[in-house]
Structure 1
Amino acid sequence: MATSVRQRVQRRRDTLRAAGLRPVQIWIPDTRRPGFAEECRRQASVVAAADASDRDLQSFMDAAWDDLFGPDNEAR
């Protein structure tokens, strides 16, 4: 006889718990909500304005790039 979905899910959860994991519930923004895209654009504009006013940011980003990929911009 086939096991029910509930039994299979419980067995899977038990296996994961035995492996030292635990379930976590997270809440994320609803991308279907009216105004979501506009709020994304607003926040992106705020970040862009902050970046534009930070004169040291581009130097920092360039140094980070060089640190990761070398001065020739080639992946190591």
Structure 2
Amino acid sequence: MRTLIEAELRDGVIYGDNLNGEYVYMPASEIGMENPVCILETTKGRQDVTMAEALKIVTRRSLKPVRHPRLGLSSC
């Protein structure tokens, strides 16, 4: 069963913390994929993470839906 966070990530919602420059999102090219890859973006760079890892990062760091400085409100 999908969580609300997973459903929102799959819809292109960007989770993050603007003060720390941390963002987790699923690129538009991954929408509809069975096992999508998400992006963890920090001030140090970007890295691919699995959906399970993305969900852990969002919950552990208490990330909220935000406006990304380059992408806006959605990764789609």
Shared fold (TM-score greater than 0.5)? Answer: no
Q: Whose helix proportion is higher, 1 or 2? A: 1
TM-score scaled by structure 2? 0.17
Q: Whose strand proportion is higher, 1 or 2? A: 2
Q: Of the two, which has the highest radius of gyration?
A: 1
TM-score scaled by structure 1? 0.17
